[in-house]
Amino acid sequence: MKKKVFIIGSGFSSLSAACYLSKSGYDVHVFEKNDMLGGRASQFKAEGFTFDMGPSWYWMPDVFERFFNDFGKSAKDFYKMKKLNPAYRVIFDKNNQIQIGDNIDNISDQFEKIEKGSGKKLKIFLKESKENYELAVTNMLYKMPGRSILELINSQTILKVNLFFSNIKKDIEKRFKDSRLRSVLQFPVLFLGAKPSKTPAFYNFMNYADFGLGTWQPKNGFYDVVMAMISIAKENGVSFNNNAEVDKIEIKNKKVKGIHVNGEFKECDIIISGADYHHTESLIDVKFRQYSESYWNNRTWSPSSLLFYIGLNKKLNNLNHHNLFFDTDFDKHADEIYTSPKWPTDPLFYLNITSKTYEHTAPKGHENCFILIPISTNLKDSEALREKYFKIVLDRIKKVTGNEIKKNIVYKRSFCVSDFKETYNSFGGNAYGLANTLMQTALLRPKLQSKKVKKLYFSGQLTVPGPGVPPAIVSGKLVSDMIINNERAF
Ligand SMILES: Cc1cc2nc3c(=O)[nH]c(=O)nc-3n(C[C@H](O)[C@H](O)[C@H](O)COP(=O)(O)OP(=O)(O)OC[C@H]3O[C@@H](n4cnc5c(N)ncnc54)[C@H](O)[C@@H]3O)c2cc1C
Which pLDDT tens digit goes with each residue over 167-208? 999 999 999 999 999 999 999 888 888 889 989 888 899 999
Distance from the alpha carbon of residue 414 to the mean position of ligand 1, in angstroms: 17
Give a three-class secondary structure readout of 180-220: HHHHHHHHHHHHHCCCHHHCEHHHHHHHHHHHHHCCEEECC
* Three-state SS sequence of 409-426: EEEEEEECHHHHHHHHCC
Ligand 1 atom with least separation from CA of 247: 41
The CATH superfamily holding the domain 4-71+221-298+434-489 is: FAD/NAD(P)-binding domain (3.50.50.60)
Residue 279 near ligand 1, beta carbon < 6 Å: yes
Percent of the chain surpassing pLDDT 70 = 100
pLDDT at 292 over 80: yes
Distance CA 72, CA 90 (A): 38
Q: Angle CA(447)–CA(427)–CA(289) in degrees, nearest 5?
A: 45
Give the whole-angstrom CA distance, residue 78 versus residue 236. 16
Residues 6+ apart with CB under 8 A from 178: 114, 115, 118
| In 11-103, beta strands by DSSP E | 27-31, 43-46, 49-52, 81-83, 88-93, 96-100
Q: Using one digit for the tens of pLDDT, what is the confidence trace for 404-448?
A: 999 999 999 999 999 999 999 999 999 999 998 888 988 899 999
**Domain 301-424 listed as CATH 3.30.519:** yes
Kind of pairing between the strands at 322-325 and 349-353: antiparallel
Of all protein residues, whose CA lies closest to atom 1 belonging to ligand 1?
A: 54
Q: How many CB atoms lie within 10 A of CB 403?
A: 19
The yes-or-no verdict on residue 82 having pLDDT over 70 is yes
Q: Could you check whether 4-71+221-298+434-489 and 104-213 share the same CATH topology? A: no
Instruction: Report the nearest-CA residue for atom 14 of ligand 1.
Output: 55
pLDDT for the residue numbered 104: 97
Instruction: Specify the CATH number of the domain 104-213.
Output: 1.10.405
Distances (CA, A) of 79 to 63, 357, 471: 15, 15, 20
Contacts of 199 (CB under 8 A, 6+ apart): 167, 168, 169, 189, 192, 435, 436, 437
- Tens of pLDDT, residue by residue over 377-396, are 999 999 999 999 999 999 99
Domain boundaries defined on the chain = 4-71+221-298+434-489, 104-213, 301-424
Please choose, from the candidates 282, 298, 285, 300, the residue with its C-alpha nearest in 3D space to the C-alpha of residue 421.
282
Residue type for position 226: V
> What's the pLDDT band for 490 if we cut at 50, 70, 90?
low
State the greatest distance between any 2 C-alpha atoms of the chain, in Å, as a whole number.
68
> What would the mean pLDDT of 209-221 be, rounded to a whole number?
97
DSSP string, 429-452: G-SS-B---GGGSGGGSPPSB-SS
Q: Which of 78, 200, 111 is nearest to 444 (CA)?
A: 200
Residue 306 scores a pLDDT above 90: yes
pLDDT of 159 over the 80 cut: no
Nearest CA to ligand 1 atom 13: 55
Mutate to test the pocket of ligand 1, among 6, 31, 432 (most ligand atoms within 8 A of CB): 432
Where are any strands of DSSP class E within 290-390? 304-312, 322-325, 349-353, 367-375
- CB 305 near ligand 1, within 6 Å: yes
13 lines ligand 1 (CB under 6 A): yes
